[in-house]
Every structure is written in C-alpha cells, then in structure tokens.
Structure 1
Amino acid sequence: MDDALISSRDLPIARKSVIPGTGFFLPDDVDDELEAKAAQAALEGADIAVVADADADGLACVALLREAYDDVQVVPEPDDEDEADSDDGPGTDDPLEAIDEIEPSPHRVALLPASPHDVEESLDRVAEYGRPGIDCYVCDLCPDRYEYVEEELEALLETADSVSWYDHHQWDEDVAAAVREAGVDLVVGDSEEECTADVALRSLEYDFDERFETLAAVTRDHDLWLREDPRSDDLADYAYWTDPAEYVEVVREYGVDLPEWVQDFLTERRVEKQALIDRAIGRSELREIGEYTVGITYGRCSQNEVAEAMREQGADASVIVKPAGSASIRGTDAFQRCHEVAGRINGGGHPKAAGCKPDIYDDMLDYAQHWTTRGAVAKRVIIEAFEAVLETDPEPTADA
C-alpha cells in the first residue's frame, strides 16, 4: 500500500478530522514488535520499571519517580525536537526502520507507556525483559476486571521484588481486593480530589521540592477538569503532542513553566487543534435522554474542549466519538455517571470523565462505515447505554 494513503500529516483539516492517524493502520504484529523492542531497550539495565498512562498525569508520576530515585537526566534541546505528528503513530514513515533505530535507554527508571486497553501487555513485558529483582510501579491505569491482568501480574510478581500501583480512577472493590491479595501495594486516591500524580507524591518516601508539588497540583487542575490554572492546558497539550520520554525530562527540568521553545511548539500545534475542535463542534447535536440533555459528536479532536462547548450549549453530558472507534464521555455537576455508561460498553473511568470502545467493528468495512457515517452506529450504541443506565436507576443514591 502507498504510504501516502494512510498518512494524515498533510491532509486538509476537513479530511483529517474524520479519519484516524497513521498508527491506526499499522498491522498488530508490526505495532507489537515496535513496542516490544522499545520495552526491551528501556528495561536493559533498569532497576525500576514504570508502566504509566502516557497522558500528563501518568507521565508526571514518571518524573516524580525519576527524581525520587535520582535518575540521570536527558533534557532535550530545541534542535532535538521530534517533528513527527504524534497522531500519526510512532517513529518514522517506515515502522520497520523505526524498530532498527531503537537504542538502549540511559535511565535506570524505565518508562513503558501504556493505555487502559493494553496495560496487561506492558506488565508482561516487564516480566519478560526486566531483570530479576526489579521494582515496578503502575501509574494512572485501572483494569476493568482482574482477569484481564491476572496472568501477567502473576508473572510480573515472580520477576519483581515489589509492585506498587498508584491510581485515582473508580476501582471495582473486588478488582482492588484481588490486586492487593496478589501482593501489590495498591493506593487509590479520591477521583474527585486527587490525580495520580498527587497519589504518587504522597506515597513515595522522598522529600520533593516545591517544583514537583506544583507539577502535581497543575496536573490535577487539568485531569480533574478544574481549569483554574492556564498552565494545565499547556501540560496536557504538550504530553499529547510530544514523545512521552521527552515530556518527562522537560517537566522534571522545568516544572510547569515550560521553556520558550516548547511554548512556540504549542502555539504552532494549537492552530490545527482549534480547527479540529471547530469541526467537531460543528457536527454536534443535542439529544434528550430521560431528564438529561446529552451532546454527541464525531471527530478527531481534543475532547475536553469540545465537551465544554457542548456543555455551554446546554448538555448535561457529552459524547465524542473518535475515528479510531473509541469514545470519550464527559459529565457535569448535573450528570456524574459517565463511568456507569462506559462500563456498559467495554470501558470505565470517573463519574465525570470516562472512555469506551463499542464492540461493533468486525472488519474494515465496519470501520469504513464508521468514517463515512461519522460514527452513526457507535453513537447509537452509546445512546442506548445512557438509556439503560437511566432506566435501571434513574435517581442513584450517593452510595451508588
């Protein structure tokens, strides 16, 4: 296949808004080989492994751990900045070439970026490539069911001396109990009050200076969608657009006051970001479900800003369906049951912020329909999930 057919870097915004990035089209075996090689290189000679969500919250935990363990710093310079489009997937235009270019990491605190959908794979890689006696931390990730991570966690505990798990999502009590019974030091913060960086900051036995306390506070401002500190948007955008390893080293060096070259990078990228947001807002519609107004739209965009725009239009909850098939669900003070809705569609999260991916894609023809209909089937499935949640318990108690 011609690479130009799957590269979205030079596409007009109108087209870029409705299809996934290049990484979506990589075959699983190529993607798996790339991630396995990167994990092996990161873990070579490492004393500590950190499996973390690659957003600002998860990566802030990596910065805290590297500081606590006095890890080497590799601070990038402006000329080192990777110009690759992070939406287009990892590495160069040739993924196989990127595999050959991966080199061992100089860090003794290794970073393995993960997502809620593949945390078990990262745990398995630490078990396979980590040295016997390694310490492992898992940050800002929450398994929906214990059986999703049971075998991988068992293998990891055979390799690692200790496994600590820091998070702030809504954990099922049985899942949390099973993880603890397996031998993991699990610390779960209040999702209404703390981000995972807060949990790591108070859990690690290290006297962090004010720079890192501020990093956790500003990260919380965005992760809990408080939006009281404008610097939190900078952190969130920079974590999303740049390489995770670069983000960790920059915030460890500069804290929340990002250097000028990073600010210039953000300014340039935000032109396109706003254009994608505008496209998604333009497609949005409001639906009445029970006593709630739900905004729903489709597009490759920054979901928080789009959700805020729908809230201003009167939405109690908002749904942003993505071209890759997943969806983000955002709530308000009026609707705090996003995790319940997502839980019915292979997902989970917080009362006011959750994610899911409907199990409706059997082949590429289903995805083609998804793109051309702007997520029509996914929208219908998610609306049905809202209806089911409200029909089951229209007015939940505080305990629920």
Structure 2
Amino acid sequence: MDEWLIDDERLSIERKSILPGEGFFYPDTVEEAKREQEAAERLEEAEGVVVADPDADGLACVALVREAFGAAALLPASPHDLDRALAWVAEYAESGADVYVCDLCPDDAADLEPLADLTASEGDIRWFDHHQWDPDLTTLVRDAGVDLTVGESEEECTADVALRELDADFEARFADLAAATRDHDLWIREDPRSDDLADLAHWLEPEEYIEIVREHGADLPPDAEELLAERRIEKEALIEKAVERAELREIGPWTVGVTYGRCSQNEVAEALREQGADAAVIVKPAGSASIRGTETFERAHEVAAQVNGGGHPKAAGCKPDVYDDMLDYAHHWTTRGAVAKQAIVDAFRRLSEEPTES
C-alpha cells in the first residue's frame, strides 16, 4: 500500500475526522515487535521501572516516582496491553528492580498472569490507581505480593494517590500538578490549566512531557503554550465536525448524545452537555469509544463494562467487539460508526431497564 494513502498531512479536516491515524494501518505484529525491542532497551539495567498509561495522569505519576527516587524507566501501556507490559518487565528488567504500575486497571485475571514471574524478582512492586476495580482482581493482585493502593474513583486521580503514597518530601508544584491533573481526569473542569496538561501529554513524546512537568509543574513554559496554540487550530476543527454529526437520543430516563469522529472527546462531550445531554458517546475511527457522564448520569463505567471496557462513573472507555475484518472497519468509517454506536446505545438501554432499588 502506498504510504501517501494514510498520510495525515494530506487529508482535509473532513476526511481526517472520519479516518483513523496512520498508526492504525500498521500490523500489530510489526508494532508489537518494535515496542518489545524498545522495552528491552529501556529496561536494560534499570533500577526502577514505571508501567503507566501515557496520558497526563500516568505521566504525572512517572514524574513523581523520578522526583522521589531518581531515574526510573518508563514503559508506556494501555489497559488493553497490560499483560504484555508486565511480561516484558518480568523478562527484561534487572532482578531486584523496583516496579511501579500507575493509572492502569486490569480487565480480567488474564491480564495479571505475568505477575507470578514479576513477583519472583527481589524488587518491590507497587501499584497505584483510581479506577473501579473488581474485588476478585484486587485480591489476586494483593495475594501475589503487590502493594496495591486504589484511590477513590470520584475524588482522586492516580497522581493524587502516588503523591500521597510515595515516601518523599515533594515541592509544592507537584501537589499543584496532581490537583490540575485531577481536574481534567475526573472532568471537574475548574482549572483552565488542566486541559493544557491533557493536550500537551497527548501531543508530546512522554519523556518530553515528563521533563516539562517535573520542572514547571502545571504552570507550563511559553514554548509549551505556543505549541498548544498552534495544535489547537486543528483540534477545534475536529471537535466542530464531531459536534455537527451528533444526535441526541432519548434512552430510558436519559438524553444521550451520540457522535463519531477523531476528536478530543471531553470537549465534544461538554458541547453535547450544553445541548441537554445527560451522557455522551463519542465513537472513534479506530473502533474504540469514550463515554462521558454528567451530574445527572454517573454510570458511564457500567455502560462501558457491557461493551468490553470500563472506567469511572463520569468517564469511561470501551471498544465494542464488532470488528471481524477490514470490511467491518470499512463499514465503520463509511457509516460513521453505526454498528459500534448501536452496541453502546443498546448497553444504555439495558441499563435503563434494570430494576431500581426500592
């Protein structure tokens, strides 16, 4: 396939909004081999390792670990490849290396199979998170010898947990960083800096972001602000496309805004809330979806759990199991996510039909 066909730089905003990014079109086997090689190089002779979601919350945790204990290798991971990340740490990290797992919640017991090899090392293993954990998985992790701390999902981000649990005398900017990160991660939206942190973490390489927030905290330097201003021109255009496509659906007692597009989901969800939505569903071209709640809908994680996902009461993610081959993805793009949308709408409907507690 000619690379120009997937070159983002040549696409109009309309087409870019409909199609996934370039990375989607590279086979997982090629990407995984590359990531494993990078993991082996990162972990070689590392005395400390942080396995973290590479969003603003996860990367803030890396900054805190490094500030507390010095150098620590970062191994980025998502909830969908947590098992691979843990297996790579067990295989490539030095025996005795301390390991921190941050801002990641296992979906099922299979994600934790590498823990047996990992805990055989002489190093400490600590796990910080703030998602909604299954009690059986909590027990499984702790019984494996992991020091697990899960914060209150509706009150703390993982950076809050790490700040509290790490034995270090942090300067004030790190508490401020955790507070600003929480503002975005829990969708409080009272601190204007929090969106800046989230966007910067998305657009920069993780190591560059960590370096900036370790030095500056949540008060970003001028060059970072300039980058944000430049990149937000396209961001706002993609948000506008997703909002234009949105439909408001009445499902049980809730008004649910449903849309599709490559976009920043929080801003789209906020626009739909302003239009009267109790909840928002943003289906992405790559097949995943974000579910956002409001004060009138705090069950996003329950919807996501029905369609291969999870998260928080007001912010969750999922990837409906509706893609068997590339024809399904072609249908997904040309219908603007019709099948995935329906799967999530059906999950809302099932939730609305559950008997209420008397």
Question: One fold, TM greater than 0.5?
Answer: yes
Distance 2:195 2:44 in 1: 34
CA distance in 2, matches of 1:210, 1:150: 35
Partner-residue secondary structure (3-state), 1:17: helix
**2:255 equivalent in structure 1:** 293
Q: Distance in 1 between matches of 2:245 and 2:116?
A: 46
Q: 1: distance between equivalents of 2:3 and 2:140?
A: 45
Report if aligned partners of 2:253, 2:352 keep a CA contact under 8 Å in 1.
no
Q: 1:120 aligns with which of 78, 83, 91?
A: 83
Q: 1:175, CA displacement in angstroms?
A: 1.1
Of 382-391 and 13-22, deviating more is 382-391
CA distance in structure 2 between the partners assigned to 1:12 and 1:303 by the alignment: 20
Q: State the AA in 1 paired with 2:24.
A: F
Change (3 A) 1:282 1:391: same
Say if 1:157 and 1:276 are closer, same or farther in 2 by CA, change over 3 A.
Answer: same
**1:140 maps to which of 74, 81, 103:** 103
Q: Distance in 1 between matches of 2:208 and 2:86?
A: 22
- Residue number in structure 2 paired with 1:224: 186
Counterpart of 1:264 (choices 217, 221, 226) is 226
In the alignment, structure 1 residue 44 sits paired with structure 2 residue 47: no
1:25-79 CA-to-partner distances (Å, cap 9, x unmatched) read: 11111101111111111112210110000100000000000000133xxxxxxxx
Structure 1 gaps of 5+ residues are 72-108
Preserved CA contact (<8 Å) 1:335 1:352 = yes
Deviation at 1:390, TM superposition (A): 1.6
Counterpart residue number, 1:153: 115
Pairing 1:310–2:255 present: no
Contact 1:130–1:159 (8 Å) recurs in 2: no
Query: Which residue of structure 1 aligns with residue 172 of structure 2?
Result: 210
TM-score (norm 1): 0.88
SS in 2 for 1:332: coil
Correspondence 1:370 to 2:332: yes
Displacement of 1:10 in angstroms is 2.6
Contact preservation (8 Å) 2:106, 2:112: no
**Residue identity matched to 1:46:** A
- Structure 1 residues 383, 48: CA separation in 2 closer, same or farther (over 3 Å shift)? same
For residue 323 of structure 1, report the CA deviation from its aligned partner.
0.2
1:110 alignment partner in structure 2: 73
Paired with 2:241 and 2:136, the residues of 1 have a C-alpha distance of 42
Q: Once structures 1 and 2 are overlaid, which stretch shifts more, 42-51 or 269-278?
A: 42-51
CA RMSD of aligned residues (A): 1.0
CA distance in 1, matches of 2:10, 2:357: 48
Q: Which amino acid aligns with 2:111?
A: V
- Superposed CA deviations along residues 315-345 of structure 1, whole A, max 9, x for unmatched, are 0010000000000000011111111110011
What CA distance in whole angstroms lies between the structure 1 residues aligned with 2:95 and 2:113? 18
Is 1:27 the counterpart of 2:27? The answer is yes
CA distance in structure 2 between the aligned counterparts of 1:119 and 1:251, rounded to whole angstroms: 25
Identity of aligned residues (%): 64
Count of residue pairs the alignment pairs up: 358
What is the SS of the residue equivalent to 2:156? coil
Stretches (4+) displaced over 4 A: none
Contact 1:127/1:160 (<8 A) preserved: no
CA distance in 1, matches of 2:123, 2:93: 11
